[in-house]
Structure formats: C-alpha cells, structure tokens
C-alpha cells in the first residue's frame, strides 16, 4: 500500500517544490512557468494541443505498425534462411548502433515532411523489433524442435507452429521498446522539419511556440509528449499482461 | 518369443572438435517388447546413444538397423518440454496434429492417453497450472498418444521428488504392454524396478560395460520394491556400476 503511494507522492512533492520556488523567487513565467501555469496553458489551448498530440501519436503508431510488420517478417526470413541472416545481420547491427535520428535531416531532403517523419520513426523503431524477434525465434525449446522433427514436421510447421508462438513474448518486448522509439523518431523528424514543414505534430508546436517565445506553451507540449509516451508504454504493458498470460510462468492470477 | 527390433552395430560418435569419442563401438540388440535401461554415470554417452537411436544425431561410424521400417518413436526428455501457450489437450495432441489429424479426430485419442497417465479430465488445464510431476505425465501422454512401437526416455523423472518418481515409474510399468522401451537413468533403483535388461555404460570413451538380465518378480509396485529379488538386483547393479566407473 505504502509502496504503491510513494511514486505519486514523490511526484506531488516535486511539483509543489517547483510551484513554491517559482512563487518565492518570483521567476517570471517567460523564464520558468509554474506547474499551475503549465496546466492552465494546457487547458486554454486544449483543442489545438490535443489535435497536435493526436497527430504525433498516430504518426508513431503508423510507424510502429510498419516497423513491427517489417521487423517480424525479416526475423522470420532470417530464421528460415540462416545464410540470409549471416549475410545481413552485420548490416542490421551497424544500423542499430547508428543514432538513426541523425538521418532525419537527410530524409527531409528526399521526402515530403509527412513521409520523412514516418520514415524516421520506422527506422528508429525497426531494429529493436527485428533483433528481439530474431532472438525469440532462435530461443525456441530445443527438445520441442527435435520432437517436431521426429514427428515429421515441415520447416514451415516448425517456424509457424513452434518458433513463432515461442517468440511472442520477445516480439512483444520489441514492440514495447519500438513504440517508445517510434515516438522519439517522429518527434525528432518533426523538430528537424521545424517551421519549414507544414507539420501539425506536438514537436512542431514546440518549435512554433519557441519562435514566439511562448514558454508555457512549450512546457505544455512537452508535458503532453510525456503523457503520450506513458500512454504507449501503459498500453503495451497492459496488452502484454492480457495476451501473453499463458506464456508467463507462475500461479494463476 | 524374443525377436530383435533394433540392432546397433559398432556405433560410434565423435563430436566435432572433440578428441575423444562420446560413444565408441556400441553393439546392442534390443528385443521387441522389452524394457531396456541404459544405466551409467553422468557424461558416459547415454543421452547421445538415445539421440542416435531417435535420429536426432548421425553416427560417425557404425549402423542402426531396425527390423523392417523405422517404427514410430515416442520421445520423453528430462524436462517436460511443453508448449506454454497450448493447453494440456493441445500439447498431447501434437504428434497427431503434425501427422495431419484434425482437432476433433484427435480428441478421443488425447482423452485416452491422458487417462493412461492418470490425468483424465485435465484437457483444458495450462502447463503453468500443473506441478512438475503432472507436467511430466503430460509429456508421457504426448509420447504415447500416437501409439508408438518404441518409447525412448532420457532420464525423464530425474528432477522429480522421490514419491512422484515412484508414481510415474508405476504409471510407466502399467502401460508397458507391447511397447519397446529404452529408458536412460543414472538411478540403480529405477533401473532395477523398470528393466527387463540393463545395459551398464562406462565413460571415456562411452561404451557398454556389461549387459545384465534381471530376475523379475511378477509383482509390481510396493510388493516389487519389498521383494528380495529387487534388493538383490539393486546390489548387482550397484556393483556393476561401481566397476563401470573404475578407470580401465
Ligand atoms: N552437442 C555436443 N557437442 C559436444 N559434446 C557433446 C555434445 N553432447 C554431448 N557431448 C559430450 O558427450 C559426452 C556424453 O554426453 P551425454 O550423452 O549427454 O552423457 P550422459 O547423457 O550419459 O550424461 C559428454 O562428454 C558430453 O560433454
Ligand atoms: Mg544425459
């Protein structure tokens, strides 16, 4: 009970300290707005900000869907053909260690701002999904693989009836990591596109508010981005608990 | 009425990158319907021998020959190796489903197999809801469901507690009729209880040290465990195992 209450209490304490510091030191909102001002700004600009949040969130989710489908498909292909995996895994690793956010400006040269944002988010989310899925497909119970072979299973049987279901928890972990990264990728590309793009996402609102020195507005947009990230994380944690209950060890809950 | 089902001739296997062979020159004839225990210290090649017979590995030299076609084989590993996403019925049905049988057609066979291992009515349970002993029973039912002629078991009950182990040995005893069983164990008592014959293996390199034919009392269960024949068999096997573990 106490353990459950500590995080919200800690957050409340931080916000209170922030509010008090701003009031006592008489910091103007244009330098550091108090939490109450940020919340007021949020409510005052709710339609505009929520619309922007919906845009960014939907970009991230579209990117996640594409990266998820692509990453899992490629992992299945690698599992099917170890030769392909040997050939392409070094490339995948090299791309994984590259901070792909840095390619956002490059993407903006070739693509429409919309498409560039999507492409950047897909790129950033893709590799954790691929590597988690590939590892999961490999980790299937060796005894079961042998049993499948003993009973005359085809390679397709082994892949789709054994390796794929065995890998679902890993694939889900990859998707959860990928969801957060897709959001980061989308935001990074929106920032890179800046005022030049006709973007309508939250990051674009931050850039725009920055130009106009509307500091509380910038904070409000950042708070909404944080909430978007939390929502994505919570949604995947919940889905994981519901869909993968059978995979998890332990007593019935 | 003995008829050989399986003949191993000069069977040898050296794993790649290993100097010493894991198995070297194993000759063995397995009779149809018998229970043959492979008994030996850890690392003497028992699992390797069983995996060769199943076809999971290929010998470096020698031959495995079956009387007639290679029969249907049921295999039980040391771990239950169940699919956690599938319920008990779907786990047991696996060999039937892989052979192309529909779920409907498999259901009565699954039910029968579960009844044979004492798990009647557990079709809808999930593996994670079962105790270690029950999971092993499911694994046994899966190995039996397509009526294999040969059952290969690799220390299947080694990680269970003593009482559960006895129960499962009894379950195995009761379903022997007709099936040829190769049972790997490092337990003298398990071998003495289950086997018609025991192949004592020695390590470095793995080979058969001695073949012992057991005097079986007709009794089973507690009566067999209390019988003088059983005690004598345990003593014989222990002495054999001791000799098998002495350096050459
Ligand atoms: N896949 C493998 N690769 C290399 N060596 C192996 C492999 N499997 C088993 N061995 C070696 O072969 C020997 C026999 O192993 P195993 O058949 O598992 O023995 P047992 O089942 O009697 O304990 C051991 O020395 C073991 O280390
Ligand atoms: Mg072994």
* CATH value at residue B11: 3.40.50.300
Same domain, B188 and B101: no
- Asked if the structure places residue B79 within a domain, the reply is no
Mutate to test the interface with A, among B90, B96, B128 (most CBs of A within 10 A): B128
Whether residue A242 lies within 8 A of chain B, CB to CB, comes out as no
Which of B11, B12, B13, B22 for mutating ligand 1's site (highest number of atoms within 8 Å of CB)?
A: B22
Q: What is the ipTM of this complex?
A: 0.92
> Taking CB atoms and an 8 Å limit, are A247 and B77 in contact across chains?
no
Clarify whether residues B144 and B161 are in a common domain: no
- Asked if residue B179 and residue B59 are part of one domain, the reply reads yes
Ligand in nearest proximity to the CA of B41:
1
The C-alpha atoms of residue A72 and residue B19 are separated, in whole angstroms, by 41
Q: What's B127's DSSP letter?
A: G
Say whether B83 and A144 touch across the interface (CB within 8 A).
Answer: yes
- B29 SS3 class: strand
Distance CA B237, CA B214 (A): 10
Q: What gap in Å lies between CA A55 and CA A127, rounded to an integer?
A: 24
Q: Tell me the pairing of strands B150-154 and B180-185.
A: parallel
For residue A197, pLDDT beyond 70: no
**Domain encompassing residue B15:** 1-71+153-248
Is B49 inside any structural domain? yes
Residue A70 confidence (pLDDT): 97
Whether B78 is covered by a domain: the verdict is no
**Closest CA relative to residue B202, chosen from B191, B210, B190, B193:** B210
Res. B217 pLDDT band, cuts 50 70 90: low
* Residue B99 token pair: 């052979």
Q: Does B101 share its domain with B197?
A: no
Is the CB of B99 less than 8 angstroms away from the CB of A152? yes
Ligand 1 center to residue B15 CA distance, Å? 8
- The tokens describing B16, both together, are 């790649």
The C-alpha of A253 sits at a distance from chain B's nearest C-alpha, in angstroms, of 10
Nearest Cα residue in chain A from B154: A143
Strands B73-76 and B150-154: parallel
Rg from Cα positions in chain B:
18
Residue B108 CB contacts under 8 Å (≥ 6 apart), including other chains = none
Angle value at C-alpha B60, between B55 and B64, nearest 5 degrees:
45
Burial class (CB in 10 A: 0-12, 13-18, 19+), A65: middle
Instruction: Evaluate whether residue B76 is within a structural domain.
Output: no
Q: Are residues B39 and B159 in the same domain?
A: yes
Give residue A185's pLDDT band: very low, low, confident or very high (50, 70, 90). Answer: very high
* % of chain B with per-residue pLDDT over 70: 98
Q: What is the pLDDT of residue A253?
A: 41
The rounded Å distance from CA B41 to ligand 1 centre is 12
Q: Is A152 on the interface with B (CB under 8 A)?
A: yes
Predicted confidence at residue A199, as pLDDT, reads 65
Same domain (yes/no): B160, B66: yes
**Shared-domain flag, residues B17 and B36:** yes
> Which residues have CB atoms below 5 A from the ion given as ligand 2?
B 47
Which helix (H) or strand (E) segment is B83 a member of? none
Please answer whether residues A59 and A174 qualify as being in contact, where contact means their C-beta atoms are separated by less than 8 angstroms: no
Phi/psi for B4 (5° steps) reads -65, 135
Taking CA atoms only, the protein residue closest to ligand 1 atom 5 is: B15
Ligand 1, residue B201: give the atom nearest the CA: 22
Residue B167 pLDDT = 86
Domain count, chain B: 2
Boundaries of every domain in chain A? 53-252
Q: How far is CA A115 from its chain centroid?
A: 18
Q: Is it true that the peptide bond before B205 is cis, omega within 30 degrees of 0? A: yes
Asked if A103 contacts A123 with a C-beta cutoff of 8 angstroms, the reply is: yes
Nearest chain A Cα distance for residue B134, angstroms: 15
Domain annotation covers residue B20: yes
Single pTM value for the model: 0.89
B165 and B53 inside one domain: yes
Task: Identify whether residues B134 and B158 lie together within a single domain.
Answer: no
Query: Are residue B97 and residue B209 in the same domain, yes or no?
Result: no
Among B98, B113, B148, the domain-final residue is B148
In terms of domains, do B109 and B216 share one?
no
Q: Nearest CA to A58 among A107, A114, A4, A16? A: A114
Could you tell me which residues of chain B have a Cβ less than 8 Å from any Cβ in chain A?
54-56, 73, 75, 77, 79, 81, 83-85, 94-95, 98-99, 126, 128-129, 146
> Which tens digits make up the pLDDT trace of A128-182?
999 999 999 999 999 999 999 999 999 999 999 999 999 999 999 999 999 999 9
Is A139's Cβ below 8 Å from some Cβ in B?
no
Ligand number, closest to the Cα atom of B45 = 1
Ligand 1 atom index nearest CA of B57: 1
The per-residue pLDDT for range A85-138, each reduced to its tens digit, is: 999 888 888 888 888 788 888 998 999 888 999 999 999 999 999 999 999 999
Task: Collect contacts of A233-242 with beta carbons under 8 A, ≥24 apart.
Answer: A233/A176, A233/A179, A233/A180, A235/A179, A236/A172, A236/A175, A236/A176, A236/A179, A237/A176, A239/A172, A240/A169, A240/A172, A240/A176
Q: Residue B182 domain-assigned?
A: yes
CA of B39, nearest ligand number: 1
Choose among B56, B79, B98: nearest Cβ to A146: B56
Please answer yes or no on whether A149 and B84 come within 8 Å at the CB atom: no
What's the CA angle centered on B164, arms B161 and B170, to 5 degrees? Answer: 135
Residue pair B105/B93 in contact (Cβ under 8 Å)? The answer is no
From 3.40.190.10, 3.30.43.10, 1.10.3720.10, 1.10.357.10, which CATH number describes the A53-252 domain? 1.10.3720.10
**pLDDT, tens digit, for every residue of B14-52?**
999 998 899 999 999 999 999 999 999 988 999 999 999
d(CA A188, CA A186): 6
């Amino acid at each position: 009970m106490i353990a459950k209450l500590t995080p919200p209490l800690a957050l409340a304490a931080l916000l209170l300290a922030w509010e008090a510091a701003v009031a006592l030191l008489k910091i103007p909102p244009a330098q550091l707005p108090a939490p109450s001002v940020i919340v007021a700004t949020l409510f005052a600009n709710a339609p505009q900000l929520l619309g922007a949040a919906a845009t960014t969130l939907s970009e991230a989710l579209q990117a996640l869907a594409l990266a998820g489908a692509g990453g899992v498909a490629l992992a299945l292909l690698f599992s099917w053909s170890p030769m392909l995996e040997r050939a392409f895994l070094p490339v995948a690793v090299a791309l994984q260690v590259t901070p792909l956010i840095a390619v956002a400006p490059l993407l903006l040269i070739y693509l429409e701002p919309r498409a560039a944002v999507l492409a950047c988010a897909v790129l950033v989310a893709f590799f954790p999904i691929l590597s988690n899925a590939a590892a999961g497909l490999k980790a299937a119970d060796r005894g079961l693989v042998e049993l499948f072979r003993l009973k005359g299973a085809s390679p397709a049987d082994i892949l789709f009836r054994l390796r794929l279901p065995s890998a679902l928890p890993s694939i889900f972990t990859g998707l959860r990591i990928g969801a957060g990264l897709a959001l980061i990728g989308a935001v990074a590309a929106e920032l890179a596109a800046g005022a030049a793009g006709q973007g309508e996402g939250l990051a674009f609102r931050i850039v725009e508010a920055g130009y106009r020195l509307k500091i509380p507005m910038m904070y409000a947009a950042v708070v909404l981005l944080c909430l978007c990230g939390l929502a994505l994380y919570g949604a995947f944690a919940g889905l994981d608990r519901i869909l993968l209950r059978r995979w998890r060890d332990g007593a019935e809950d | 009425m003995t008829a050989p089902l399986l003949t191993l001739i000069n069977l040898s296997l050296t794993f790649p990158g290993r100097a010493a062979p894991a198995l070297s020159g194993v000759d063995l004839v397995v009779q149809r319907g018998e229970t043959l225990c492979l008994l030996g210290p850890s690392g003497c090649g028992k699992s390797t021998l069983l995996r060769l017979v199943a076809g999971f590995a290929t010998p470096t030299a020698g031959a495995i020959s079956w009387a007639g076609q290679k029969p249907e084989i049921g295999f039980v590993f040391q771990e239950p190796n169940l699919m956690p996403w599938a319920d008990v019925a779907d786990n047991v049905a696996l060999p039937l489903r892989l052979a192309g049988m529909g779920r409907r057609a498999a259901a009565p066979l699954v039910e029968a197999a579960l009844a044979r291992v004492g798990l009647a009515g557990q079709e809808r349970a999930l593996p994670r809801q079962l105790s270690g002993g029950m999971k092993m029973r499911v694994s046994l039912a899966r190995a039996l469901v397509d009526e294999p002629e040969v059952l290969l078991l690799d220390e299947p009950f080694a990680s269970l507690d003593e009482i559960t182990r006895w129960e499962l040995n009894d379950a195995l005893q009761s379903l022997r009729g007709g099936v040829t069983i190769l049972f790997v164990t490092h337990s003298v008592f398990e071998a003495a209880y289950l086997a018609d014959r025991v192949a004592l293996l020695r390590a470095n390199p793995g080979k058969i040290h001695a073949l012992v034919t057991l005097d079986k009392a007709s009794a089973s269960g507690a009566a067999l465990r209390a019988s003088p024949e059983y005690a004598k068999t345990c003593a014989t096997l222990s002495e054999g195992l001791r000799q098998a573990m002495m350096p050459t």
